[in-house]
Chains A and B, each alone.
Chain A
Amino acid sequence: MRKTYNGLVASDDVTCRFRKGKVTVILGGSGSGKSTLMRQVVGLEKPDSGTVHFGDRELTSLSRAELYEYRKKMGMLFQASALFNSLDVFENIAFPLREHTKLADQVIRTMVKMKLELVGLRGVEGLMPSQLSGGMLKRIGLARAIIMDPEVVFYDEPTSGLDPISAGVIDKLIVDLNEILGVTSVVVSHDIESSFKIADWIMILFFGKKIAEGTPEEIQSSEDPRVQQFIKGSPEGPIPFTRTDKDFYEDILIP
């Protein structure tokens, strides 16, 4: 897949494969094009060139109505949780059910309670999103993402900005959902430690390019200096700190 924004290459001919029933983590620094890649995979943005396959269908050429049928098999947890401010927790989680099913209120209530129990937040149904902490928002967002029992769940930086305990809770939920319900999971992250904990497969992005992929062990023992620099988080190494190729002295001396 390839995608550019005003000449900036955000996805540089990336090919990726998310295996059924596995947790795949897309790792990369800020601005390395992780979110862009994920938005193309789920069809929120069209790639400039390239295709997306889900089962035996190609998603980029589908009509809106057809794409929506596939979306019902996907859940997504957004970086900012993206809960609706105007609805309380219960209605937020029930939203997809109310839109797509004709289930009775009683059934909806039971299903919402089950998901809340799963994310460990039963009892907050009546609160508004503005009354919740960051970690709770993520968990409610996750409850909403899985209310339709999706086959694939996408997570955009599920643990960034959270305290270590909340982050650990989210990591555990991702693993549990994967192991208990067999949900295929795609996680975008820059949190190295948690990625190695939850991943079956890791892909590393660097300025829109895929520079490595493999099992956590393979990545750990990779000889690529860029990969080593990234997983150790050292400022010195082959990954430049600045984005431009221009030499610093040239840049300040020659206007």
Chain B
Amino acid sequence: MNALALLAVPGRRVIDGVRVLGRSGIFLSASIFYGFVPPFKLRSLPQQIDFIGTRSISIVVVTGAFTGMVLSLQGYYTLSKFGATGMLGSAVALSIIRELGPVLAALMVTGRAGSAITAEIGIMKITEQINALEMMAVNPLKHIVTPKIFAGLISLPLLTTIFDLVGIGGGYLIGVKLLGVNEGAYFGEMVRSVEFVDIYGGFVKSLVNGLIITWVCSFIGYTAVATTEGVARATTNAVVTTSVLILIMDYILTSFLL
């Protein structure tokens, strides 16, 4: 009896967890499915791309520049021990394109836009705007979530590309202009070592991240407890869950793509 009671709590947790997983899966498939069913909501897609993508550019540029700069600094220090500072360009480019670009760009977007997505949807729920959509015979998933998911799929690869380019530029500034690495070596090694799979892998990661951010943040907002505290808790929860998922998926994808 006691042993059973001990199992009840973790058992409940597992059942709840599986249930959430299932519901969020249905939520995602429905939202994507509605993207292919007319009438199309073309009006809100550019708005969402602007919100998730365009307005994240400045933060992505700043973080990209400093990431490239610090990589260059650290890389130069390490490589100079082996007298291989000519490899700096390829070291910076590979780390950014394969790992740091997709992951850091996604984490920045999560903090900037992801939390806002959860809060927006949660507030629409509290103020009955979601019920109002239902009553006006407008599918709330299709109206609210579908454009966000497609905007994420479009924005993240572009933001990641910007991060990569600015990061490589920042690395160039420190490595070549400040530390005096040969310019030809910096770019030459980079072109020789970066392969198609590296770029392809980074692209796949950025797509997956775009999906995770918009999916998880929308779902958590949509299922938030309909009170002020409920939405506040959901917002924090969304940022933490999304960030952890981004890092876990990054590992999984890396192990597949290697």
Asked whether A182 is an interface residue with its Cβ less than 8 Å from the other chain, the reply is no
A68 adjacent to B137 (CB under 8 Å): yes
Residues of B within 8 A of A44 (CB): 131, 134-135
Residues of B within 8 A of A74 (CB): 135
B241 to chain A, nearest CB (A): 25
Name the contact of A76 in the complex, choosing from B135, B138, B139 (C-beta under 8 A). Answer: B135
Bound-state CA distance A75–B135 (Å) is: 7
Q: Which of A79-87, A118-126, A244-252 contacts B (4 or more CB under 8 A)?
A: A79-87
Interface members, chain A 68-100 (any B CB < 8 Å): 68-69, 71-72, 74-76, 78-80, 82-85, 95-96, 99-100
Name the contact of B128 in the complex, choosing from A64, A71, A80 (C-beta under 8 A). Answer: A80
Q: In the complex, which residue of chain A has the Cβ closest to the Cβ of B41?
A: A99
Asked whether B257 is an interface residue with its Cβ less than 8 Å from the other chain, the reply is no
Given contacts A82-B128, A83-B129, 10 further A-B contacts (CB under 8 A): A44-B131, A68-B137, A69-B137, A78-B128, A80-B127, A82-B127, A82-B132, A83-B132, A85-B127, A95-B136
B120 to chain A, nearest CB (A): 9
- Could you list which residues of chain A lie within 8 angstroms of chain B, going by C-beta atoms? 39, 42, 44, 64, 68-69, 71-72, 74-76, 78-80, 82-85, 95-96, 99-100, 144
Known: A78-B132, A82-B132. A72 touches B137 (CB 8 A): yes
Q: In the complex, which residue of chain A has the Cβ closest to the Cβ of B44?
A: A86
Name the contact of A82 in the complex, choosing from B131, B138, B139 (C-beta under 8 A). Answer: B131
Residues of A within 8 A of B132 (CB): 76, 78, 82-84
A79 adjacent to B136 (CB under 8 Å): no
21 residue pairs A–B, Cβ–Cβ below 8 Å: A42-B135, A44-B135, A68-B139, A69-B137, A71-B135, A71-B137, A72-B137, A75-B135, A78-B128, A78-B131, A78-B132, A80-B127, A80-B128, A82-B127, A82-B128, A82-B131, A83-B129, A84-B129, A84-B132, A95-B136, A96-B137
Interface residue count for B (Cβ, 8 Å)?
12
B146 to chain A, nearest CB (A): 14
Q: In the complex, which residue of chain B has the Cβ closest to the Cβ of A148?
A: B136
Bound-state CA distance A39–B132 (Å) is: 11
Q: In the complex, which residue of chain B has the Cβ closest to the Cβ of A147?
A: B136
**B123, B128, B135, B137 — which one has the most chain A CB atoms within 10 A of its CB?**
B135
